[in-house]
């Protein structure tokens, strides 16, 4: 006879205890964690084998249909929205007038240099009325660090006088009015409309134009034609934030002379992959601003900016 198995007897007084599920508390977003997350997304491909395979794939790619391009463009926008969830205008301003002046000053210089210059400018000329009455030579000295200071002084005096005389000292919220102001073109107008008035617009600066051509969204060189073709790809509600994301990417990773391809989070969507440094470790060294562990361009960045504020003018 086979021996019978006896059921294991549980010790008296013991009861089966259900495993306790740990409560998942919502993690607080910190600047350090955001930077690490963004940096982690900016490290693919991680191996040389992956870069070689990626290069082969790009070279063997078939001609892309219009529909496929639009889908790829919108996917790039979605992925950049994840990487640059904190994207914002990189000019310090407290009101539409300050943003308008700062944007005019940003021509042919960096936003950083403008941000380092405008505190003294707005302290001396806080309103359009004050600025319109400025002594040209005195204003020139204040904005000299931004370059082309004589031409910019002329524009600022002219637009301030126009705001005072034609708009009651207020910045207008319409494109057709803004572009009539001295020194204000469509790019400047859309920066002001999108970030001071919430009116959607596409800002075609040098970074934006360079990247949309690299991504094969357009072949146009003229800013207005670029604007029109990109506007046809994306819904109007995305225009302003799309501009910020593309410009952020151009300043931090997809540089003009040497793109950091090996540290780019959207290489799988980029038809120009390989134009820059593809080695992941070498590419990481090319990253700028918060991506590279360096200060940003704003002295007073938004609360959710994960990097360090820029230093004031003349700071070590």
- Cα–Cα distance for residue pair 295/309, rounded to 1 Å: 6
Please give the helix or strand (H or E) that residue 105 lies within, else none.
helix 96-105
* Prior bond of 141 cis (ω within 30°): no
> What does the longest C-alpha to C-alpha distance in the chain come to?
115
- Cα–Cα distance for residue pair 91/278, rounded to 1 Å: 31
Token pair, residue 315, equals 């700071």
CB 175 within 8 A of CB 186: yes
Asked if 187 is an active-site residue, the reply is yes
Cβ-Cβ contacts under 8 Å for 27 (sequence gap 6 or more): 33
Active-site option among 205, 279, 282, 288? 205
Closest residue by Cα to residue 194 from 46, 79, 87: 87
CB 55 within 8 A of CB 78: no
- Cα–Cα distance for residue pair 230/218, rounded to 1 Å: 7
CB 163 within 8 A of CB 183: no
Closest residue by Cα to residue 185 from 203, 198, 167: 203
Asked if 27 is an active-site residue, the reply is no
List, by residue number, the catalytic residues: 187, 205
């Amino acid at each position: 006879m086979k021996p019978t198995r006896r059921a294991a007897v549980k010790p008296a007084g013991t009861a089966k205890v259900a495993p306790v599920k740990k409560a998942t508390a919502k993690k607080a977003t910190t600047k350090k964690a955001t930077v690490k997350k963004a940096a982690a997304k900016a490290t693919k491909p991680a191996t040389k084998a992956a870069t070689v395979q990626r290069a082969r794939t790009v070279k063997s790619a078939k001609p892309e249909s219009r529909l496929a391009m639009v889908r790829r463009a919108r996917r790039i926008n979605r992925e950049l929205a994840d990487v640059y969830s904190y994207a914002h205008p990189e000019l310090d301003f407290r009101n539409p007038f300050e943003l308008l002046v700062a944007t005019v000053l940003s021509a042919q210089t960096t936003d950083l240099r403008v941000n380092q210059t405008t505190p003294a400018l707005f302290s001396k000329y806080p309103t359009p009325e004050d600025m319109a009455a400025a002594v040209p030579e005195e204003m020139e000295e204040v904005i000299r660090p931004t370059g082309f200071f004589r031409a910019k002084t002329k524009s600022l005096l002219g637009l301030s006088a126009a705001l005072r005389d034609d708009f009651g000292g207020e910045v207008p919220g319409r494109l057709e009015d803004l572009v009539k102001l001295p020194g204000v073109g469509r790019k400047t107008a859309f920066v002001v409309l999108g970030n001071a008035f919430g009116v959607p617009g596409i800002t075609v600066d040098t970074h934006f134009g360079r990247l949309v051509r690299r991504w094969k969204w357009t072949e146009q060189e003229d800013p207005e034609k670029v604007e029109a073709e990109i506007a046809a790809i994306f819904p109007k509600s995305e225009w302003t934030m799309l501009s910020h994301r593309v410009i952020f990417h151009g300043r931090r990773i997809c540089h003009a002379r040497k793109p950091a391809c090996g540290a780019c989070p959207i290489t799988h969507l980029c038809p120009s992959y390989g134009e820059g440094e593809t080695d992941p470790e070498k590419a990481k060294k090319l990253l700028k601003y918060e991506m590279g562990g360096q200060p940003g361009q704003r002295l007073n960045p938004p609360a959710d900016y994960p990097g360090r504020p820029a230093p004031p003018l003349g700071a070590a």
